[in-house]
Structure 1
Amino acid sequence: MTSTIGRPSTKTLRLASARRRVRAFLDQIAELENADFPHPDGKEALALLKREFELRQRSLGRIPDTVSDATVDEVCADTSIFLERYTDILGFILRSTNVRNAFEVHFPLKRLIQRVIGEEAKLIMSSEWNFVPFTWPMNLDVLGDFVLVGGPAPESGNVLIIPLAGHEIGHSAWRQADIALKITPRLIAAIAQAIANRPDDRDRLTSQLARDGHDLSWLEHQCFASAAKQLEEIFCDMFALYVFGPSFAFAYEYFLAPGKSNRSVTYPSSLNRVRYLLDGVRELKFAVDDDLFANWQDSSLRVGIAGDILLFADDAVEAMFPMVRDLAFDILKRSSVPMCRDAAVDRVRGALTIGIPDGDGATLAEIVTAGWLHLRGKGGLSTETDQPELGMLNELMLKSVEVSEYRLRLGHA
């Protein structure tokens, strides 16, 4: 049995571990500071993280030996939580410097979030090992003004998937505009009506729930939670559709065709989501191929209590959809976010066809929509021999974005 005489206490060693971990984090920041940041937002985020962790380092260094074990444990737990939260962000910032990212689209996307969210909003775009793009919600204490949008690493340089970032930015717009709060009274009523409209299902389910100690209010709460998350996803789809026009529908189909996802209680079914998307297309008077979502397959059915919750939640979502769609469109109209112009799309497509960038100043949405129409008109450009043409298309779109940015800054666009 090992003697404990003269050995440092658990409290001392645990506090030393916390100090080492914070120091290691700061050492990593010091390495990243030497990276080339294509846009200043990434550098600013790194500086904010450095300042926060230096504060923590000083706080840990000032803790006296006389402090209680319970206090040290609390400090160490808080440090671990903070490190866990921001280690991912540090990696995200590092990957934002990768030259494979489409840096040219940063400025038009940043203008979008500043119009919709606020002038102080910052943007960091990065590649991630996720299948589809995602965003960190704007609830990071240290980076409260930052929108972080991650795209799948294999597609990091593909301009055609940029419209999916519109959906992710929509999540930040949802929070910034307090849409959840605005729809809550109507959604509560819609849930109650959905349950009342299915009395046989309601009675069957409440009888079953009673055996588990639940009542009708529990069912209403679960339905509300499901419907609210579904409506947020629909809001983000409408947001992206307004901003990016038909290119969002094309990018959506590219990633998720032909549907058939596993049904989640937080997302509309695969068929319903496409149906809502096409409703938005008609409302905005965009033109997409009639067969774009042909033979789209529905999500797998959920069984058990989750399936029963979706039975009512989906009905409430259906009733609420027009309100949520119009809220998304109204936010963007009030923010003077331009819509895709058919004439500009046709002009850019003509330039791409003859192998030159557009020189007259088009929006990012118009350039990407033209790119999708060109790609689809060429049969998808998927063979080995098509790769040079596909690469050229991507470069021409990026160059068109650069030209548009140049004209905008000179006041010509």
Structure 2
Amino acid sequence: MSGNTTEVEKASLRLKLDRLHDQALHVSSSEYSYAAVGEAASIIRNLIQKHIARIEDYHTFPRRLQENITQRSIRFIIQASEILGTLSRSSSIRNPFEWYAEYSYLASKLAGDDTKLIFSSEWSYIPFTYPKNLEQLPDFIIIGMPASESDNVLTTPAAAHELGHSIWRHRNVEQTIGVHLQKEAQDLTLKSEKELKRVFSELDFSKISTDLFAQHVFSQIWQTAFKYAMMQSEEVFCDFIGVLLFEDAYLRAFHYLIAPNLSTYRSPGYPDTKKRAQILNKYATSLRFGIDRYEDFFLPDHSEPDPLESIYLNLADQVLEKYLDELFKIAENMFHQNGLVSVNREEIDNIVQHFTNGVPYPEIASIRELVIASWKIYVEDFHKDISKTRALSDIVLKSAEYAEFLRSDDARN
């Protein structure tokens, strides 16, 4: 490759990084409702500068190293651009800033005191999180809510699921259950020889100690089943966090966003949608706020046509089923050990009365109680006239804002 071509390549990479740096500078210097946004943008700016410094001697490097630097920089640009966009949109008036203080409190309690929370709105229908998209932002929890729903208080519990992903990582839940899930995946794979023979007709696990083919199949099957089971375990754990925090309101929000299901074929990283609803309601019922025939609102995902993929999913489902109680116990212990308690149902009844009369709640109430009360009103009355839900959201947000004022006033006194 000619020297001139290398210089052009270097200049193009530098230009892309410079333009990204300009955007990061703009984001970090803008005004936001909370400092975490500027902090995250400043960290990304510093990372961009490191990438720029790395290409100063680009033309002197061997071609293979140049290619490696270019690939790493492009991947970084893609990741950083997405996160900067989310940070920028966090200032949108669509975002429920009234929730921020209390959600930050919940994040610090459950994920750790060092966590920094950022709420944003996204033109994506499904809520998402960036728990560790960039390893240099490990303490930031970036939650994106659907732009069309971000000011709808009824969807607020969905953010608890996204918070769960950061709790999973910060509290090392994967390490806690990993050994057990792995052993179960291995045991179930050995017991599935008959089913596996439909795909691998010559398979004989009785010769696994000497047969390289049997060893290869065994390793491939259990490792894939284990990977799927771990991903599904994380999703269910996050659902449990949602249930523990928002009780039946989480089930309602899950139904609102997901039912009857979202895709034609099942994603291996999630339980079957109908089964997931059954799991949710089973454990909600154990806490006495389940919903009668809840799973009937959902449809099962279509079966995977690939017979081998179907085996992976079947094994993963069995592994997950085995450890559901343990997952729930881990989530429940985190909830109680970090000083969180169940909501006050008497308080919720009082809130319902005020909201039904069209007035904000005049006392300190938690985000959890305000949202549960909102769902109670919606299910019992406002679903008959959905135009009332905007007024309901306004009243709830005013109540949250006033509750935060009362907390601050108490702290000053």
Q: Match for residue 244 of structure 1?
A: 246
Residue 16, structure 1, aligned to residue 11, structure 2:
yes
Alpha-carbon contact 2:382-2:389 (below 8 Å) kept: no
Distance 2:88 2:318 in 1: 44
User: Structure 1 residue 318 and structure 2 residue 351: aligned?
Assistant: no
Task: Please point out which of 156, 160, 165 is paired with 1:166.
Answer: 160
Of 85, 95, 98 in structure 2, the residue corresponding to residue 91 of structure 1 is 85
Deviation at 1:47, TM superposition (A): 1.6
In structure 2, C-alpha distance between the alignment counterparts of 1:89 and 1:64, rounded to whole Å: 27
Quick check: 1:276 aligned with 2:279?
Answer: yes
- The root-mean-square deviation of aligned C-alpha atoms, in Å, is 2.5
* Deviation digits for residues 93-135 of structure 1 (CA, Å, limit 9, x no counterpart): 1111111111111111111111112211111111112221011
Structure 2 residue matching 1:300: 3-state secondary structure: coil
1:131-150 matches, within 5 Å, as 131-150=125-144
Q: Which sections of structure 1, spanning at least 5 residues, go unmatched?
A: none
1:338 aligns with 2:341: yes
Report the AA paired with residue 222 of structure 1: T
Greater displacement, 69-78 / 194-203 = 194-203
1:118-129 aligned within 5 A: 118-129=112-123
The answer to whether the Cα contact below 8 Å between 1:137 and 1:172 also exists between their aligned partners in 2 is yes
Change in 2 beyond 3 A, CA 1:204/1:71 = closer
Point out the more displaced range, 318-327 or 204-213: 204-213
- Separation in structure 2 between the aligned mates of residue 343 and residue 272 of structure 1, nearest angstrom: 32
Matched, 1:403 2:402: yes
State whether residues 22 and 53 of structure 1, in contact with CA within 8 Å, keep that contact through their aligned partners in structure 2.
yes
CA contact (8 A) 1:195 1:312 kept: yes
Aligned pairs for 1:365-404 within 5 A? 365-381=368-384, 386-387=386-387, 389-404=388-403
C-alpha distance in structure 1 between counterparts of 2:192 and 2:47, whole Å: 53
- Could you give the per-residue CA deviations for residues 261-320 of structure 1, whole angstroms, max 9, x where no partner exists? 4322221112211111012212322x2442444353222112311112222221221111
CA offsets 1:329-387 (integer angstroms, 9 cap, x no match): 111211112322211211111110111111221111110010011111125155xxx42
Identity %: 26
Q: Is the contact made by 1:136 and 1:147 (CA closer than 8 Å) also made in structure 2?
A: yes
Rate the CA distance shift 1:336–1:139 in 2: closer, same or farther, 3 A: farther
Cα–Cα, structure 1 residues 214 and 33, in superposed 2: closer, same or farther, change >3 Å? closer
Q: Secondary structure of the residue that 1:100 maps to in structure 2?
A: coil
The question of whether the paired residues in 2 share the 8 Å contact of 1:244 and 1:339 is answered with no
SS at match of 2:148: helix
Q: Using a 3 Å threshold, how does the CA distance of structure 1 residues 209 and 39 change in structure 2: closer, same or farther? A: farther
CA distance in 1, matches of 2:220, 2:141: 35
1:35-90 residue CA offsets vs partner (Å, 9 max, x unmatched): 331111111111222222233334434x2754444443333232212111101111
Superposition deviation, residue 168 in structure 1: 0.9
How far apart, in 1, do the equivalents of 2:195 and 2:365 lie?
53
Is the Cα contact below 8 Å between 2:348 and 2:370 reproduced in 1? yes
Q: 1:64 to 1:170 in 2, by over 3 A?
A: closer
- Say whether the 8 Å CA contact 2:174–2:230 is kept in structure 1: yes
Aligned counterpart, 1:351: 354
Match of 1:235 in 2: 237
Q: How many pairs align?
A: 402
Which residue of structure 2 aligns with residue 297 of structure 1? 299
Over 3 Å counting, the alpha-carbon distance change for 1:366 and 1:57 in structure 2 is: same
- Answer whether contact 1:171 1:236 (CA < 8 A) is retained: yes
- Counting only pairs closer than 5 Å after superposition, residues 47-126 of structure 1 correspond to structure 2 as 47-61=42-56, 63=57, 66-126=60-120
Correspondence for 1:222? 224
Provide structure 2 residue ranges, at least 5 long, that are not aligned to the other structure. Answer: 205-212
Structure 1 length normalisation: TM-score? 0.90
Query: What letter corresponds to residue 217 of structure 1 in structure 2?
Result: S
Alpha-carbon separation, structure 1, partners of 2:86 and 2:126 = 15
Pick closer, same or farther for the CA change 1:42–1:322 going to 2, 3 Å: same
The alpha-carbon distance between structure 1 residues 380 and 212, as it changes in their structure 2 partners (threshold 3 A), is farther
Superposed CA deviations along residues 20-47 of structure 1, whole A, max 9, x for unmatched, are 1111112122333453311111111112
SS at match of 2:92: coil
Structure 1 residues 208, 260: CA separation in 2 closer, same or farther (over 3 Å shift)?
farther
Return the TM-score normalized by structure 2: 0.90
AA at the equivalent of 1:249: L
Whole-angstrom CA distance in 2 between matches of 1:26 and 1:366: 42
Q: Which amino acid counterpart does residue 98 of structure 2 have in structure 1?
A: E
| Alpha-carbon offset, residue 393 of structure 1 | 0.3
One-letter amino acid of the structure 2 residue matched with residue 165 of structure 1? A
Judge conservation of contact 2:364–2:406 (CA < 8 Å) in 1: yes
Q: CA deviation at 1:205?
A: 4.5
The verdict on how the C-alpha distance between 1:256 and 1:67 changes in structure 2, with shifts beyond 3 A counting, is closer
Counterpart Cα distance in 1 of 2:215 and 2:331: 39
Q: Does the CA-based 8 Å contact 2:285-2:291 persist in structure 1?
A: no
One-letter identity of the residue aligned with 1:54: Q
Aligned residue among 170, 182, 190 for 2:184: 190
The answer (yes or no) to whether the contact 2:25–2:42 under 8 Å persists in 1 is no
In the other structure, the counterpart of 2:207 is: none
